[in-house]
């Protein structure tokens, strides 16, 4: 939850009793609705920083005394919504630069691999096993694309 534009508070949630104990708090930063992600095991959240030409990802451990970690994304532009890859070693995100929207895979060292470049907003959700990636792409002749990621 956002607390008065001062903090983000992450809490456990019980489906019967509602909000539970606090897991982490971090200083508030401007966001875009729904543009953060949670690790597949629930151990951390990752929040993109929307600062133009200095993209970063803040990784916040949940329910742990471990410190948060800031990852400098090695690309120019503005980082938008991110979604964790199933291996929790990278994120899918959109980097906007020069009027282009680049669907990118960003690893934990900040290295960026551009997967798709578009004139429009784009984002992606991986399948739970990582074998498929659903993404937005505007085109005149198709409304569904399938892309299989080669696994190492």
pLDDT at 9: 85
**High-pLDDT (> 70) share of the chain, %:** 88
47-69: b (≥16 Cβ within 10 Å) or e: bbbbeeeebbbbbbbbeeeeeee
Q: What is the pLDDT of residues 65-104, one digit of tens each?
A: 889 999 999 999 999 889 999 988 999 999 999 899 999 9
State the distance between the two ends of the chain, measured CA to CA, in whole angstroms. 37
**What tokens were used for 24?**
């982490």
Q: What is the pLDDT of residues 108-120, one digit of tens each?
A: 999 999 999 988 8
Please state, in angstroms and rounded to a whole number, the distance separating the CA atoms of residues 102 and 28: 26
**What tokens were used for 147?**
């892309």
Tell me the pTM: 0.81
The confidence band for 129, taking pLDDT boundaries of 50, 70 and 90, is confident
35, 45 contact by CB (below 8 A): no
Please state, in angstroms and rounded to a whole number, the distance separating the CA atoms of residues 136 and 125: 9
pLDDT at 85: 92
């Amino acid at each position: 939850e956002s607390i008065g534009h001062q903090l983000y508070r992450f809490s456990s949630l019980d489906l019967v009793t509602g909000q539970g104990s606090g897991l982490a708090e971090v200083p508030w930063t401007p966001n875009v609705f729904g543009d953060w992600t949670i690790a597949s095991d629930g151990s951390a959240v990752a929040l993109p920083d929307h600062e133009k030409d200095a993209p970063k990802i803040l990784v916040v451990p949940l329910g742990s005394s471990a410190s948060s970690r800031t990852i400098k994304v090695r690309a120019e532009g503005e980082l938008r919504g991110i979604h964790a890859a199933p291996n929790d070693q990278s994120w899918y995100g959109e980097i906007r630069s020069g009027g282009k929207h680049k669907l990118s895979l960003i690893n934990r060292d900040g290295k960026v691999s551009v997967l798709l470049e578009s004139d429009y907003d784009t984002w992606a959700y991986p399948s739970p096993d990582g074998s498929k990636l659903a993404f937005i792409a505007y085109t005149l002749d198709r409304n569904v694309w399938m892309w299989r990621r080669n696994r190492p």
